[in-house]
Structure 1
Amino acid sequence: MKVAVTGLRGIPNVMGGVETHCEEMLPRVKGLDPDLNITVFARAPYVKKPRYKYRGISIVSLPSPVSVWREAITSTFNAIVAARRTKMDIIHIHAIGPALLTPLARLMGLKVVVTHHGEDYNRAKWGRFPRFILRMGERLGMLFANHVIAVSPSLAKKLQKSFPGSTNRISYIPNGTPELPRSRGDALARFSLKSNEYVLAVGRLVPEKGLHDLIKAHADIKDGRKLVIVGGADHNSEYSESLLKLANERVIFTGLQDRGTLRELYENAALFVMPSYHEGLPIAALEAGSCSTPMLLSDIQPNRDIGLPEKDYFPVGDTSALGQALNKPNYLYQVDAAEFRKKFDWDEIALSTSSIYHKLMD
């Protein structure tokens, strides 16, 4: 069986939730079936080589513009053509923007799996036309894919209600908690940090991540903890530039960091905060949970799907409530890493995904 994967920028070590999802899952799927041929069709601007292997997965870069929204459609079109040319059996399309081309893939004789990572049309950065395209991508993916994976239970239920004719082709398979590698042990020194004396946020510098709310609420923190924000922007924007201008000795932007550094930052943080207005099933929160980092999340449904106690959530966009929560003792927000790993197990996720591939080929 030959499976093509598209809708992501590339792997490994490429910023993004979809990218992390594929980096964790695909090698595990390959491990379950060594004879399975998996090829990721990556976007050339985001990977360093035209062709290479990563843990048994083939990565092939294809031409792609660097554009806020056109690159996903263009790269997916190129991937579908390449999948047809190389006689792939299945193409696995990640995200609803790329899913716009699901009918084309079916017309070319490919079986299609679509993973719905979240309602991207709710992101603040999109204008009216991109929102229309994303909604159309969701609709065409739901109607024409051979199987659809939703990464959160609430999303799966919503899709089954909105597309009743597709109910039997929709499955809930979550994101997972990774085992992050050990770091060199120098991250705290590099960023002039002390263990348990900083609040940590991890995410792209885009409006829907709500980092502006966190920075505002952090200004009123009473115990002097610093705020560390890990991540970069997909593309330079007025918003990302406005955030970066807020950097000072108490608000530190580290840029994109490798996964070992992330682990060190999670394990030494006093508190992990995710103030997002929009998520799928947030991998950064799952990473933090796997490191036993105390957690405080906005109360949007995808964050609630993680299943933390009510005290671990605050009303999204309410900086006053967030500020009050930040000033409470960190121990109130403690989480159980073992419970996270059991509930969001990448090995089980890989097994469920592999089963879908095999069922489509039966």
Structure 2
Amino acid sequence: MKVCAVGLRGIPDVMGGIESHCQQLYPRMVNDNVAITVIGRSPYLPKHPATYRGVEVRSVWAVKNKFLETILHTFLAILYARFFVKPDVLHIHGIGPALYTPLAKLLGFKVIVTHHGADYDRQKWNGFAKGMLKLGESMAVRFADKTLVVGRSLTYKLRRRFNKHASRIVFVPNGALTGVDEHLNADKLPKDLAIKAGSYILAVGRLVPEKGFHDLIDGYRKSKTEHKLVIVGNADHEDEYSTSLTAQRSGNVIFAGRRQGDELNALYKFARVFVLPSYHEGLPIVALEAISAGTQVIVSDIDPNLDIGLPSDCYFPVGDISALADKLTRLDKLKLELDKDAFLARFNWDEIAQETRVLFEQTLTKLKAQRHAVKE
């Protein structure tokens, strides 16, 4: 079985939840019977094809523009897949790219879409863009051979809204890493940040409004915590929001930019607490990774975060700066502990990859059987 993935920026180590999802998923799916090609975007990848842990990665030209990048590149990537990759299954990521599901079907692809979250809830989109994203969601559910959804609550909502297609909507969550290397020491913390183990509050994500980092900074300043605040990540496209956010840096509010490898793992492992104040998520990989590192977390109470199943003290009402400030002030009095082993068992990438591979194989086999029956 040959699979081709479109709709993402690329792998490995490209910032974004979908990109992290694919980086963990695809290498675990590859075997003697499954070959996978990722078609990524030229601004984020080397010019020439490469291989990452058995996954072929190809770069196709893309314009780096907040509004046009994804939609234009997905169209080019689907055509590239049709004429150069020729896969058995086209795997489309995200409901924006899923607008092209009917086109992909017309081109003869078996199509599986992964729905990574209700992107029309993102604050950056205007009314027209939100309408197109909702249309993409509809195209995915109505025309794809299977729609995989990373959020449990979102899966239930989609099955109710599209009840005629409910049998093709499947919950397949994001996973967590199996845990940061237990031998990783605090000396791996980035030296340029001048922080010590247990002395900082950590947040990780793109500098976009829906991540709620403006609330986090306000809540941090209203709190009585003595810890520093470290925000890891940057903006794909610099804009007024990201500029206004980074302008608030100080000796205690640190914007660390992108970090990866041992530096990022150490930041997760040695944080006093990880905070995710987001207004929109699919199923937040950064929170899963923080928990897998053994770090306590505080997250907003949106449905995708509630789907993780954390203790009640881990949640605060989304957008409630005073409640967040109170949590940060009373860290030592909160009950934030959870059963890490049970958590890792629920969000295990190896099992998720196996389940996804089986779904692909079953879908392909079923479609081949249906076509054979029609011919007879």
Q: TM-score per shorter chain, which class?
A: over 0.9
Which of residues 215, 218, 227 is equivalent to 1:216? 218
Letter in 1 for 2:339: D
Which of residues 78, 81, 84 is equivalent to 1:83? 81
Letter in 2 for 1:225: H
Report 1:17-32 matches (<5 A). Answer: 17-30=17-30
Is residue 356 from structure 1 mapped to residue 354 from structure 2 by the alignment? no
Deviation at 1:169, TM superposition (A): 0.5
Which of residues 315, 333, 338 is equivalent to 2:336? 333
Corresponding residue of 1:119: 118
C-alpha separation in 1, matches of 2:270 and 2:137: 39
C-alpha separation in 2, matches of 1:273 and 1:223: 14
Does the 8 Å contact 1:188/1:195 carry over to 2? no
Corresponding residue of 1:109: 108
C-alpha separation in 2, matches of 1:91 and 1:161: 26
1:212-246: CA deviation from partner (whole Å, max 9, x where unpaired): 00100111232411000001111111000000000
Corresponding residue of 2:373: none
C-alpha separation in 2, matches of 1:180 and 1:242: 35
Report 1:252-263 matches (<5 A). Answer: 252-263=254-265
Letter in 2 for 1:73: I
Deviation at 1:335, TM superposition (A): 3.1
Structure 1 unaligned residues grouped into runs of 5+: none
Deviation at 1:69, TM superposition (A): 2.6
C-alpha separation in 2, matches of 1:237 and 1:336: 40
Does the 8 Å contact 2:190/2:263 carry over to 1? no
In the alignment of these two chains, the number of paired residues is 360
Does the 8 Å contact 1:188/1:194 carry over to 2? no
Does the 8 Å contact 2:93/2:115 carry over to 1? yes
Q: Which runs of 4+ in 1 moved over 6 A?
A: none
Q: Report which stretch shifted further, 133-142 or 33-42.
A: 33-42
C-alpha separation in 1, matches of 2:179 and 2:68: 32
Is residue 344 from structure 1 mapped to residue 347 from structure 2 by the alignment? yes
1:289-317: CA deviation from partner (whole Å, max 9, x where unpaired): 10111111100000000000111100000
Which of residues 301, 314, 324 is equivalent to 2:326? 324
TM-score for the superposition, normalised by structure 2: 0.93
Report 1:1-362 matches (<5 A). Answer: 1-30=1-30, 33-85=31-83, 86-179=85-178, 185-330=187-332, 332-362=335-365
Q: 1:180 to 1:239 in 2, by over 3 A?
A: farther
Letter in 1 for 2:351: E
Query: Sequence identity of aligned pairs in percent?
Result: 47
Does the 8 Å contact 2:204/2:286 carry over to 1? yes
C-alpha separation in 1, matches of 2:111 and 2:179: 31
C-alpha separation in 2, matches of 1:180 and 1:62: 34
Q: 1:186 to 1:259 in 2, by over 3 A?
A: closer
Structure 2 unaligned residues grouped into runs of 5+: 366-376
Does the 8 Å contact 2:112/2:144 carry over to 1? yes
1:62-109: CA deviation from partner (whole Å, max 9, x where unpaired): 111111131111111112112211321110000000000000000000
Letter in 1 for 2:141: M
Does the 8 Å contact 1:293/1:335 carry over to 2? no
C-alpha separation in 1, matches of 2:173 and 2:35: 23
Deviation at 1:3, TM superposition (A): 0.7
Deviation at 1:359, TM superposition (A): 1.0
Deviation at 1:48, TM superposition (A): 2.0
3-state secondary structure, aligned to 1:35:
coil
Q: Report which stretch shifted further, 325-334 or 115-124.
A: 325-334
C-alpha separation in 2, matches of 1:201 and 1:126: 23
Does the 8 Å contact 2:225/2:328 carry over to 1? no
C-alpha separation in 1, matches of 2:219 and 2:225: 13
C-alpha separation in 1, matches of 2:29 and 2:108: 23
Does the 8 Å contact 2:180/2:293 carry over to 1? no
3-state secondary structure, aligned to 1:335:
coil
TM-score for the superposition, normalised by structure 1: 0.97
Deviation at 1:262, TM superposition (A): 1.5
CA RMSD of the aligned region, Å?
A: 1.3
C-alpha separation in 1, matches of 2:171 and 2:224: 42
